[in-house]
Amino acid sequence: MNPFSLHDQVALVTGASRGLGRAMAASLAQAGAHVAVNARDATAVESVAQSLRNAGGSAEALAFDVADEGAQTAALRDLAARHGRLDLVVANAGVQHRRALIADKVAARSARARLVAKAVNWRFTLPITERADAPAARRPTR
């Protein structure tokens, strides 16, 4: 048995359209997880999901802004309805600004994205991950 196998596990990776998020999504898919790839840009996340599928993994695109509580809740509900479980979450999404944070509005948006994402992720995903051990939980379809 491979101790690093994630076969039949469902994972959500936020901020997965590029960089570390994309690399983590690829690693999880390679380990056997079904990966829900998240970022705001629907085209980018579909491209990443397709590249994971082309490499033999199981993935789906899940475009939403983690700072939008309503969008995040709806997307996570849909994910749970499709798979009946969520085994792990990589909360990688963030806001990046290449210039110094001068305006309070920019700093507030960045802080809100981090806080809302973590609060909604944990509040919503904890019950789903707890149900993952239930016998009635469905496994992802590939």
Distances (CA, A) of 88 to 15, 35, 36, 102: 15, 10, 10, 36
Give CA–CA dist 81/78, Å, rounded.
Answer: 5
Residue 69: what pLDDT?
80
pLDDT above 70 covers a percentage of the chain that reads 64
Per-residue confidence band for 126, with pLDDT thresholds at 50, 70 and 90:
low
Give CA–CA dist 134/2, Å, rounded.
Answer: 23
The DSSP secondary structure of 89-115, one letter per residue, reads EE-------SS---SHHHHHHHHHHHH
Per-residue confidence band for 93, with pLDDT thresholds at 50, 70 and 90:
confident
> Does residue 106 carry a pLDDT above 50?
yes
Give CA–CA dist 80/121, Å, rounded.
Answer: 13
Per-residue confidence band for 109, with pLDDT thresholds at 50, 70 and 90:
low
Least confident stretch, 4-8, 12-16, 60-64, 91-95: 91-95
